[in-house]
Amino acid sequence: MNIDIQPSGYGTELSKNGISSKNIDNPLYQAALMGLISESIRLGAGIVTTNTFGARTLLKGNHPEEYQRELEGHIHLANYVAARHTRDNLQIAVSFGPYGECYHPSTAPETVGAQEFHGWQFSFIKGVRGIDPSRFEILAETIGSLKEAMGIMMAAKRTEVETVLSFVVNKAGQLLDGTPVHEAIRAIDEHTGGYGSFGINCSGLPGTEVALNANREVGQRERLTVIYPNSSDRPQCELEGCAENGDHHSEVLEERAKQLIKLAKAHEHIKRLGGCCGCGTEFVKMIRNALENPYGRMRTATV
């Protein structure tokens, strides 16, 4: 299997290390984040993600200059760490979150508003100086509303920025607004001509598997290629506000990694695996180990 490994969100590890401020100008935060990114690469990650999921609140709060500074700072930090490692295939995924609350699709904007808001984000990344555009992509994460997802992909196509749009789903394999994933992908593709690609994150494996099966049945399997679930299968409404967002001790995570490889074997079009809430940096190593023994091998080279 040719699978790339994506690191978990860094929030779990930062919280464990007592880092509360995520301002890119904070030297303690910079050092901690650089260490986590470097460790993820060392453990086998082939994707470097930026810790910019929550920065959207600056843009939403009408602070575009602060948002741009945070975005540029995180991108350059990720680029700097990646450049220190002897890999020629490391990609950098710039994380964007939804406009509203992750688990409340009623807070999502209409499609036109989403296209405008997220279009600003795409424009900002195109304006970041000193980076190789071919090594970067947008990772629009935890999107639970079709109308917002539609606006994101329309903005992505308009600005010609490579994008992975990742849905958050319930146990029935539906976006949190009730739209089945395969129907959402079909609707978006009809408006964008099949631009970008899709994933599922911040969800349990049962709903993820339902969505993958339904998408395959309607002939769209090649469109859903990135999977990074939570450490827990509990519904998002039960996880909201939890300090750890689910169990993530070693035994649980090792089993989760094996489950992911089993899922990837059943859906060979999957190109990228990782973990979301509650997983932590060590989950990269667990996926790598599960890939190497007994299911297959990972594509990324050993550092």
Q: CA–CA separation, 25 vs 279, rounded Å? A: 26
Q: Two tokens at 271?
A: 């190109």
- Give pLDDT, residue 10: 86
Looking from the CA of 27 toward its CB, the CA atoms found within 13 Å total 0
Q: Of how many residues is the chain composed? A: 303
DSSP annotation of 31 reads: H
Could you tell me the residue ranges of all domains in the chain? 4-295
Q: Two tokens at 83?
A: 């450049």
pTM: 0.91
- Give pLDDT, residue 246: 46
Q: Two tokens at 170?
A: 């319930």
CB 99 within 8 A of CB 108: yes
Element (H, E) at 164: strand 163-167
Q: Which of 60-64, 127-131, 161-165 has the lowest mean pLDDT?
A: 127-131
- Give pLDDT, residue 300: 41
pLDDT at 243 over 90: no
> Where does the pLDDT of residue 9 fall: very low under 50, low under 70, confident under 90, or very high at 90 and above?
confident
CB 109 within 8 A of CB 151: yes
Tell me the average pLDDT across 244-260. 77
Q: Two tokens at 184?
A: 């959402």
The burial class, CB within 10 Å (0-12 / 13-18 / 19+), for 101 is: middle
Residue type, 71: L
pLDDT at 206 over 80: yes
* The 272-274 sheet, strands edge to edge: 4-6, 272-274, 224-228, 197-201, 163-167, 136-143, 91-96, 47-49
Q: What average pLDDT does the chain have?
A: 89
Tell me the average pLDDT across 72-78. 94
Indicate the fold that domain 4-295 takes in CATH: TIM Barrel (3.20.20)
Phi-psi region of 33 (alpha: psi -120 to 50; beta: other; left: phi over 0): alpha
SS3 of 90-116: the string is CEEEEEECCCCCCCCHHHCCCHHHHHH
pLDDT at 303 over 60: no
- Give pLDDT, residue 164: 98
